[in-house]
A and B are shown apart, each in its own frame.
Chain A
Amino acid sequence: MPTPIQLELSRRKLLVSSAATVAVAGAAKDVRAADIRGKALQNTTAVALEVNGETQHLVLDNRTTLLDALREHLHLTGTKKGCDHGQCGACTVIVDGRRINSCLSLAVMHEGSKIQTIEGLGQPGNLHPMQAAFVKHDGFQCGYCTPGQICSSVAVLEEIKANIPSHVTANLTEQAAITSAEIRERMSGNICRCGAYSNIIDAIIEIAGVPA
């Protein structure tokens, strides 16, 4: 049951408290974010992101999501906005080795982060093996969820290798196995309304190098 105080929480308080959270989570490297506390509210923040191996210096409205920083400021529009609410996975990028929904993350939270987008994975004529497997198995139709599916696929195989369990991992004391059930479960945050799932699994299984 929300109290009136929670309901009256102002945007200013929200921004201050989120900055504080960043400081805690990001520890020492987020000095700039921590400095906002107790000072006049700044609407913009300078942030440096390492995107596909290149450092990008941006001054962003604090409300800018990582997704919009990529799409609208760096014009890396391969990362897609399907819902802007963390419901579809089209905005999936790999940040410091882990996949995230970039629409649910503010850009200013990522000072110094290494961000890999679909553009960094491979390019026409120089495809990442997963991109090539998606083409080979026709793992897409309209193509709009595809960059998110591919970024997720690459990260999912790493997550299994790193022995991070999922809802369908049967035994937590053994190394997680690369199975189609594990992949389906872990890929379920990436919606494909064209319904290419069966082909996407075929592509990922081929790259994983295991029998389906």
Chain B
Amino acid sequence: MQFDTPATSNPIDQLKVVGKPIHRIDGELKTTGRAMYAYEWYDPAVRYAYGYPVGAAIAKGHVIFIDSAAAKTAPGVLGVVTTLDVGDLEKGKLNTAKLFGGSEIQHYHQAIAVVVAETFEQACAAAALIKVEYAAEKGAFDLRAEMTHARTPDPSTEPDSSAGDFQAAFDTAAVTLDAEYSTPDQSHSMMEPHASIAAWDGDKVTVWTSSQMIDWWRTDLATTLGIDKEHVHLMSPFIGGGFGGKLFLRADAVLAALAAKAIGRPVKVALPRPMIPNNTTHRPATIQRIRIGAEHDGKITAIAHESWSGDLPGGGPETAVMQTRLLYAGENRMTAMKLATLDLPEGNAMRAPGEAPGLMALEIAIDEMSEKLGIDPIEFRIKNDTQVDPENPERPFSHRDLVGCLTLGAEKFGWAERARPGARRQGNWLVGIGVAAAFRNNLVMPSGARVKLDRDGVVTVETDMTDIGTGSYTIIAQTAAEMMGVGMDKVAVQLGDSRFPVSAGSGGQFGANSATSGVYAACVKLREAVSSKLGFNSADVVFENGDVRSGNRIVPLAEAAGEDGLVGEDTMEWGDLTKTHQQSTFGAHFVEVGVDIATGETRIRRMLAVCAAGRILNPITARSQVIGAMTMGAGGALSEELAVDTRHGFFVNHDLAGYEVPVHADIPHQEVIFMDETDPYSSPMKAKGVGELGLCGVSAAIANAIYNATGVRVRHYPITLDKLIGDLPDVA
């Protein structure tokens, strides 16, 4: 099905099931420990062997020699596969750094060997016996030091944009801001480590793994192994979080497949937690410069956003300027990105890539500018709202209600009670509130599904879509139930299997809208098959209560399916509506913090997000996406930072003790409000993404609340107490 004109009315609009607060259909499996993740697949007839990976201890250079003699004779060891043994392997198309194979080391903890043994303990102990000789080379690891060497990245990343004459307008603006901000490298730190089990059957391999994107992994694993894609079967029905860290093929799958081949038995490999931050990908650090010029009435006349980031050769920039092209009006504008070559681990997508760090800076700048203008920051944002793409004013937003989010949030949060910076004190606590806009584009991806109707009237959806905690199982079941006119108890959903039609996968907040649209398309096909079999005119057919009805004929779906059942399969493809109309999601984050006047410790007291993201398919799972993102944003504001060792080129705090993500005690009760809206330009579902929107702007709202509490402006994340304490008032 091609979606190329805005949606009119369709069966989803009945909203008998879609849009309802239905609890996760996988909830009982997850809360009882029965949901099986990659490392847990178990067949009593199979003797699994354990692979333990070894990572490079240099950041750049070559492996000269690997002495695995001691490891090979250690108790229980079945084999050792080294990067020198296998030689150069073709890199997956979507990976920047190679995962395994050959002598070249591109980053610290790059996989260089896997030791396979009968037990985990034996493999782990033997891996420690591997001795490696390296020829280390000098690398570049310090973004700030490399800024002057940074270059304009590939044109496909749209590194430069402009409209009007920024410089002239900025030079003549009545009020200006010119400030630098920085965001650190961040780690996805999903709870389930990357893990795979590989089992060969002749020249075919089945891999149980933890992947957000089944087809991307399947394609790149086939490339790396040098085998036909049809010979790779991938399974990933449950994924213990991803946040972008499981978008692209990872070393555990390659190591498991090669090790299983080498020893002739199924092998399971998990990346040890301390290996994950340096072996896999991370959100790259940025240095950003923002300039804003405005008239005294608060109208922005000039806005510029520049960003510097680094990556390995062949990598891309963190696109931190992108939202600034669309979020606020202003006739004269420019953005620019510069990319430095860094020999740190591969930088790549982490939840809301671009917008998350971009808004961390931009939404502080907007707060600063409103203060310079003496205008309330909400009023300043509303004054500079735009209903069209500011660079191409003939191109409207499909639907944009940023103003509604800000005004409703202000009312619900009690924004009117905001005091001057540093003016509100409760005991030892300096108390303040802050706001930031949330913005993230709505992306769509082709998505396929197969829907089967059986003789019991059960509707089964099969798609390679993944559920990384987002609620895919549930919203897909709701979509199928709505389309086929059955209850949720008559729907089964099977996900994450490469034998199923290729879906959008989970990423870029495109999963929910795209994948349910694919299920919609397949259900349309199945409805046609039912009508056709019964000789009904499909134009006036109604599917409800488990029956199909045309005029005064009513047939139960089970009967319509017959002994052989019926199948509908289709892929949703997308026309030009994303080009003719800018499709984005909007929100407003409100935060109250207390900052201890003596220690500079920040505690978050209240959080509210108001989101405008089209139709909300399930308010329970959508809300959870948003509160989870708000939590991640709290980490980004206050504690998360991969510390770079700029001498040896690696992230020092590479585990969950050193890399501090928020814990229970850091997070207060969180409120989320969804604007009641639909976006017919987006899809037949009229929904948009929400999982990344929830993260966009949160950290800046916290930063602005800290400023409001203390009067201390911090522009470099994370806002740890050492950055505040010197400027806090004397303890009275």
Contacts and interface: CB of A to CB of B under 8 A. Distances in A.
Interface of A: 43, 61, 63-64, 68, 71-72, 75-85, 87-88, 90, 117-119, 121-125, 127, 131-132, 134-136, 138, 140-147, 150, 180, 183-185, 187-201, 212
B669 to A, nearest CB: 5
Contact of B627 (A68, A88, A190, A196): A196
A68 B40 CA distance: 11
Interface string B644-667: 000000000001110001111111
A141 B624 contact: yes
Given A142-B242, A198-B670, 4 more contacts: A88-B273, A138-B621, A138-B623, A143-B35
Nearest to B633: A195
Interface stretch (B20-28, B78-86, B255-263, B590-598): B20-28
Nearest to A197: B667
A77 B33 contact: yes
Given A72-B120, A85-B657, A191-B191, A197 B664 contact: yes
B90 to A, nearest CB: 31
Q: What 9 A-B pairs have minimum CB-CB distances, sorted nearest first?
A: A78-B33, A195-B631, A144-B240, A141-B469, A142-B469, A143-B30, A195-B628, A118-B33, A77-B40
B239 interface: yes
Given A191-B663, A195-B627, A199-B624, A119 B33 contact: yes
A85 B34 CA distance: 24
A187 B191 contact: no
A189 B661 CA distance: 12
B630 interface: yes
A156 B370 CA distance: 46
A81 B624 contact: no
Contacts of A189: 663
Given A141-B624, A196-B624, A135 B664 contact: no
8 contacts: A85-B655, A142-B239, A144-B240, A188-B666, A193-B661, A194-B241, A194-B469, A195-B662
B28 A184 contact: no
Nearest to A122: B32
B468 A88 contact: no
Given A84-B273, A197-B631, A135 B621 contact: no
Contacts of A143: 26, 29-31, 35, 238, 240, 469
Contacts of B171: none
Nearest to B470: A141
B629 interface: yes
Contacts, number: 203
B241 A144 contact: yes
A63 B24 CA distance: 38
A134 B34 CA distance: 15
B498 interface: no
B272 interface: yes
Contacts of A146: 30-31
Contacts of B190: 142, 144, 193
Contact of A199 (B241, B270, B627, B663): B627
B32 A118 contact: yes
Nearest to B624: A138
B121 interface: yes
B34 A196 contact: no
Nearest to B42: A75
B274 interface: yes
B147 interface: no
A190 to B, nearest CB: 7
Interface in B184-211: 188-193
Contacts of B669: 180, 198, 201, 212
Given A141-B624, A184-B665, A81 B23 contact: no
B557 to A, nearest CB: 26
A210 B663 CA distance: 22
Main secondary structure of the interface of B (DSSP, over half): loop
A188 B662 CA distance: 9
B529 interface: no
Contacts of B625: 141
A192 B664 CA distance: 8
Nearest to B33: A78
Main secondary structure of the interface of A (DSSP, over half): loop
B33 A193 contact: no
Given A82-B192, A82-B656, A195-B631, A200 B31 contact: no
A78 B32 contact: yes
A144 B192 contact: yes
Nearest to B663: A188
Interface residues of B, number: 67
A59 to B, nearest CB: 12
A144 B191 contact: yes
Contact of B656 (A77, A88, A184, A199): A88
A79 B33 contact: yes
B313 interface: no
B656 A127 contact: no
Max count, chain A CB within 10 A of own CB: residue among B26, B33, B35, B665:
B33
A200 B668 CA distance: 11
B73 to A, nearest CB: 15
Contacts of B562: none
Contacts of B620: 138
B181 interface: no
B23 A135 contact: yes
Contacts of A88: 191, 273, 656
A61 B119 contact: yes
A92 to B, nearest CB: 12
A56 to B, nearest CB: 16
A9 to B, nearest CB: 15
B382 interface: no
B27 A135 contact: yes
Contact of A90 (B26, B188, B191, B468): B191
B662 A197 contact: yes
A84 B36 CA distance: 18
Contacts of B35: 143
B393 interface: no
A200 B628 CA distance: 12
Contacts of A117: 33
A138 B628 contact: no
Contacts of A71: 40
A147 B656 CA distance: 18
Max count, chain B CB within 10 A of own CB: residue among A79, A118, A141:
A141
Contacts of B191: 80, 82, 88, 90, 142, 144-145, 191-194
A142 B193 CA distance: 13
B240 A124 contact: no
A43 B75 contact: yes
Interface in B153-203: 188-193
B243 interface: yes
A117 B515 CA distance: 35
B273 A85 contact: yes
Contacts of A140: 27, 30-31, 469
A121 B23 CA distance: 20
B241 A193 contact: yes
A134 B32 CA distance: 10
A191 B657 CA distance: 11
A61 B121 contact: yes
A138 B23 contact: yes
B577 interface: no
B274 A144 contact: no
Contacts of A77: 33, 36-37, 39-40, 42
